[in-house]
């Protein structure tokens, strides 16, 4: 861990809350897109993909530190952007995936795997799912 400071318990609580909120927002947005996305391949991808952020939100809620108790403040959740035009949805989702993957890489660089294996495991599970979805999305976008 070169020049990056290790993650403290209070900051970890804030990161868990932020990741939970972001995943809940993504779950809602993808759910709205399923209904009226005209491309069948993207519609199927959004339907399958919507389940993952719901599960990831649960993982981050369970990962939140409990000593001292860290509140998962989800009051910062925004209303999902349901007005994304169908033609821009794949690009918007790709951007969301890229951003979340970058944040997960940064998080992994700050967590000591021996001291906090639970955060490493949660981040690894989310990274594996998002990487798979990113590959599928890229393939679907190239066939559209």
Distance in angstroms (rounded) separating the CA atoms of residues 97 and 93: 6
The dihedrals phi and psi of 85, each to the nearest 5 degrees, come to -60, 145
Distance in angstroms (rounded) separating the CA atoms of residues 21 and 74: 6
Distance in angstroms (rounded) separating the CA atoms of residues 94 and 123: 19
Instruction: Report the phi/psi class of residue 73: left, alpha or beta, with left for phi > 0 and alpha for psi in -120 to 50.
Output: beta
Q: What is the pLDDT of residues 38-92, one digit of tens each?
A: 999 999 999 999 999 999 999 999 998 876 555 555 555 555 555 889 999 999 9
**Average pLDDT value over all residues in the chain:** 88
- pTM listed for this prediction: 0.79
């Amino acid at each position: 861990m070169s020049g990056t400071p290790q993650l403290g318990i209070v900051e970890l609580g804030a990161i868990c809350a932020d990741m939970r909120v972001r995943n809940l927002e993504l779950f809602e947005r993808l759910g709205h897109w399923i209904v009226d996305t005209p491309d069948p391949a993207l519609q199927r991808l959004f339907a399958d993909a919507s389940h993952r952020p719901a599960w990831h939100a649960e993982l981050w809620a369970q990962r939140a530190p409990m000593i001292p108790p860290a509140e998962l403040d989800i009051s910062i959740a925004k209303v999902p952007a349901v007005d994304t035009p169908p033609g821009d949805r794949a690009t918007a989702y790709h951007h969301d995936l890229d951003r979340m993957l970058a944040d997960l890489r940064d998080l992994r660089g700050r967590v000591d795997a021996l001291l906090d294996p639970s955060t490493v495991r949660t981040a690894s599970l989310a990274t594996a799912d998002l990487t798979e979805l990113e590959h599928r999305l890229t393939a679907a976008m190239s066939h559209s």
